[in-house]
Amino acid sequence: MAVIHAQNLHLAYDRREIVHDLTLTLPEGQITVIVGANGCGKSTVLRGLSRLMTPRRGSVVLDGKDIHTLRGKDLARRLGLLPQSPLAPDGVTVRELIARGRFPHQGLLAQWGEEDERAVQEALAATRTDELQDRPVAELSGGQRQRVWIAMALAQQTEVLLLDEPTTFLDLTHQLDVLDVVRDLNRERGTTVGIVLHDLNLAARYADHLVAVKDGRIHAEGPPADVITQQMVHDVFALESRIVPDVVTGTPMVLPRGREVAPDNTPDATPEEYALSTLTAAPAAPTAELVPALEHSAMLAFEPTVIAKQQLGQSLVRFTFSSADLAHFGTNSHPLDLRIKMIIPGPEASADHFASVRPGAVLDPATHAEWYRTWLQIDPRDRGWLRTYTVRDLRAAGHPGNLGADPEIDVDFVLHLDPEQTPGSGVAARWADAAQVGDTLCLLGPNKHLVGPDYGGIEFRPGTARTVLLVGDETAVPAIGSILESLPASISGHALIEVPDASDQQRILTRSGVQVRWLPRGDRPHGELLGVEVERLMSENAQAFRPADGTGDQAGGVTDVMDVTDLEDIDVDQNILWETTTGHGAFYAWLAGEAGVIKSLRRHLVTELGLDRRQVSFMGYWRQGRPEH
pLDDT digits (tens, 9 = 90+) for 429-475: 899 999 999 999 999 999 988 887 666 555 677 877 889 999 999 98
Report the C-alpha gap between 466 and 246 in whole angstroms: 59
- Sign of the CA dihedral with 9 first, then 14, 15, and 17 last: negative
What single-letter DSSP state applies at residue 267? P
Q: List pLDDT tens digits, range 308-346.
A: 999 988 888 999 999 999 999 988 776 666 788 899 999
Report the C-alpha gap between 407 and 415 in whole angstroms: 26
Helices and strands (DSSP H and E) totals, the chain: 20, 27
What are the φ/ψ torsions at residue 348 (nearest 5 degrees)? -125, 40
| Encoded amino acid at 305, one letter | T
Quick one: fold of 467-622? Rossmann fold (3.40.50)
Q: Is there a contact between 161 and 82 (Cβ–Cβ < 8 Å)?
A: yes
Q: Is 156 exposed, middle or buried (0-12, 13-18, 19+ CB in 10 A)?
A: buried
Same fold, 4-276 and 467-622: yes
R_g of the chain, CA atoms, integer Å: 26
Report the C-alpha gap between 533 and 538 in whole angstroms: 9
Predicted local confidence at residue 300, as pLDDT: 92
Ordered by start, the domain boundaries in the chain are 4-276, 296-446, 467-622
Report the C-alpha gap between 313 and 10 in whole angstroms: 48
Report the C-alpha gap between 96 and 614 in whole angstroms: 12
Query: What is the CATH code of the structural domain delimited by 4-276?
Result: 3.40.50.300
Quick one: fold of 296-446? Elongation Factor Tu (Ef-tu); domain 3 (2.40.30)
Low-confidence ranges of the chain (pLDDT < 50): 270-286, 549-576, 628-629
Nearest to 343 by CA among 425, 255, 431: 431
DSSP string, 277-343: ----SPPPPP----EEHHHH-SEEEE--EEEEEEE-SSSEEEEEEE-GGGGGBS-SS--TT-EEEEE
Predicted local confidence at residue 263, as pLDDT: 53
Q: Is there a contact between 368 and 296 (Cβ–Cβ < 8 Å)?
A: yes
Predicted local confidence at residue 442, as pLDDT: 95
Nearest to 485 by CA among 284, 276, 337, 275: 337
Cβ count near 361 (within 10 Å): 17
For residue 119, what are the contacts with CB-CB under 8 A and spacing of at least 6?
Answer: 101, 102, 154, 155, 157
Predicted local confidence at residue 569, as pLDDT: 45
Q: Is there a contact between 331 and 452 (Cβ–Cβ < 8 Å)?
A: yes
DSSP string, 455-494: TT------TT-SEEEEEE-GGGHHHHHHHHHH--TT-EEE
Strand partners, 391: 411
Q: Is there a contact between 13 and 52 (Cβ–Cβ < 8 Å)?
A: no
